[in-house]
């Protein structure tokens, strides 16, 4: 097979970027037979794939203006795919070409713009509502990250559940590897964090629900506690409301917004935390939660479907209603004060995370590729 892969998002640290990099890395280790054509805009070394095998060919696109990338995807990407004679093209997000002769494999991580429309910028929501149904109709195969996302996608686009393939995400092996205490202390000091801190990871936007978490920290301060929150993630839509609450709630000295951090700092920041919080209102999968589990952290998560999927085994984490401020305060307090509980939760979470590997995700994705290619051999292209 000649397989195309849209890696235009691989140069960012968002969920779709991690998905692109890690899946490609696993495919490169797994598949030495098929020919891969990787479309990207960053330098090859920024893909984080190391030395690629000979069956992986990269095509760097000199497209520096990020807003132009969706336009390129709709115009030049299908032309490149057709020129190269690809058997299929995998686009790891739902902004995929709506035309072209090359069979399309599309990963739809979630449909938050439909199920939680108020948490998505209106201009993006309008674009997605026009574009994504056409992408879904054009796709030879649809992949999503979780069973609950499959149900939502099927409902939104009036599909049968078997029309969408569920392939759970993996977690990088580095999260399981123990970081030395010296390295943890050095990174903690670099970011001016106290010895005990609570960690949250995700884009600063309404869907991540940091507002509830900040209000819970205010409650803890009224109880005589002084919890410190470190937030990793870039500013997103309406992020200033989060910063304003941190100021108005007199938490400015108790919260540090770190933005994006280098990958080599991410592992010690996870392992150095006392607890991990995941108050999100909606997720397709919840990759930061899985990363925290692999790091052996005790976690507190909102009771959404993504959390239920990852924390289904009893004793792997605490779950609280996303809007229950007192409940969040109580859960964080329990973990910070009860070392035995924290150790128990962290150990069980780490064990539960071990079954989530990128190799498994790559094998399942390769199976989808094979099914699409076989189907294309027996059906005329349109």
Q: Can you tell me whether residue 302 is helix, strand or coil?
A: strand
Radius of gyration of the chain (CA): 21
- The alpha carbon of residue 325 and the mean position of all alpha carbons in its chain are separated, in whole angstroms, by 25
**Which residue, 309, 356, 302, 344, is CA-closest to 324?**
302
CA pair distance 6, 77, nearest whole angstrom: 8
* Orientation of helix 181-190 relative to helix 263-271, angle to 10°: 110
Q: What is the pTM of this model?
A: 0.90
Give the pLDDT of the chain (382 residues) as one tens digit per residue: 999 999 887 767 677 788 988 999 999 999 999 999 999 876 766 666 778 889 999 888 766 556 667 777 888 889 889 999 999 999 998 888 998 899 999 999 999 889 888 878 888 888 889 999 999 999 999 999 999 999 999 999 999 999 999 999 999 999 999 999 999 999 999 999 999 999 999 888 888 999 999 999 999 999 999 999 999 988 887 778 888 888 876 788 899 999 989 889 999 999 999 999 999 988 888 899 999 999 999 999 998 877 778 887 777 899 999 999 999 999 999 999 999 999 999 999 999 999 999 999 999 999 999 999 998 776 654 4
- Can you list the domains of the chain with their CATH numbers? 2-170+357-378 (3.40.50.2000), 173-353 (3.40.50.2000)
């Amino acid at each position: 097979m000649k397989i195309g892969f849209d890696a235009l998002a691989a140069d960012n640290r968002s969920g779709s970027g991690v998905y692109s990099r890690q899946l490609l890395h696993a495919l490169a280790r797994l598949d030495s037979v098929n020919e891969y054509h990787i479309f990207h805009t960053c330098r090859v070394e920024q893909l984080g794939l190391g030395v690629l095998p000979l069956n992986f060919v990269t095509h760097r696109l000199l497209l520096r203006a990020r807003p132009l990338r969706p336009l390129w995807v709709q115009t030049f990407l299908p032309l490149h795919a057709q020129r190269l004679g690809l058997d299929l093209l995998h686009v790891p997000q739902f902004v995929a070409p709506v035309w072209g002769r090359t069979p399309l494999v599309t990963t739809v991580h979630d449909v938050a713009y439909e199920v939680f429309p108020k948490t998505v910028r209106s201009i993006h929501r309008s674009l997605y509502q026009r574009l994504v149904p056409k992408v879904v109709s054009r796709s030879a195969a649809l992949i999503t990250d979780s069973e609950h996302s499959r149900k939502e996608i099927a409902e939104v686009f009036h599909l049968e559940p078997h029309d969408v393939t569920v392939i759970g995400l993996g977690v990088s092996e580095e999260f399981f590897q123990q970081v030395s205490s010296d390295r943890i202390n050095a990174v903690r000091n670099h970011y001016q964090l106290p010895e005990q801190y609570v960690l949250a990871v995700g884009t600063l936007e309404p869907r991540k629900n940091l507002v509830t978490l900040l209000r819970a920290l205010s409650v803890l301060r009224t109880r005589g506690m002084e919890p410190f929150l470190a937030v990793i993630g870039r500013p997103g839509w309406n992020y200033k409301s989060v910063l304003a609450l941190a100021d108005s709630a007199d938490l400015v000295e108790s919260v540090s917004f770190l933005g994006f951090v280098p990958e080599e700092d991410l592992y010690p920041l996870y392992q150095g935390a006392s607890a991990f919080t995941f108050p999100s209102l909606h997720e397709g999968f919840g990759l930061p939660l899985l990363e925290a589990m692999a790091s052996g952290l005790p976690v507190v998560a909102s009771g959404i479907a993504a959390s239920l999927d990852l924390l289904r085994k009893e004793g792997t984490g605490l779950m609280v209603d996303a809007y229950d401020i007192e409940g969040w305060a109580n859960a964080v307090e329990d973990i910070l004060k009860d070392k035995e509980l924290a150790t128990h939760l962290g150990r069980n979470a780490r064990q539960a995370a071990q079954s989530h590997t990128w190799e498994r995700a790559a094998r399942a994705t390769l199976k989808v590729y094979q099914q699409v290619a076989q189907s294309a051999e027996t059906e005329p292209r349109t």
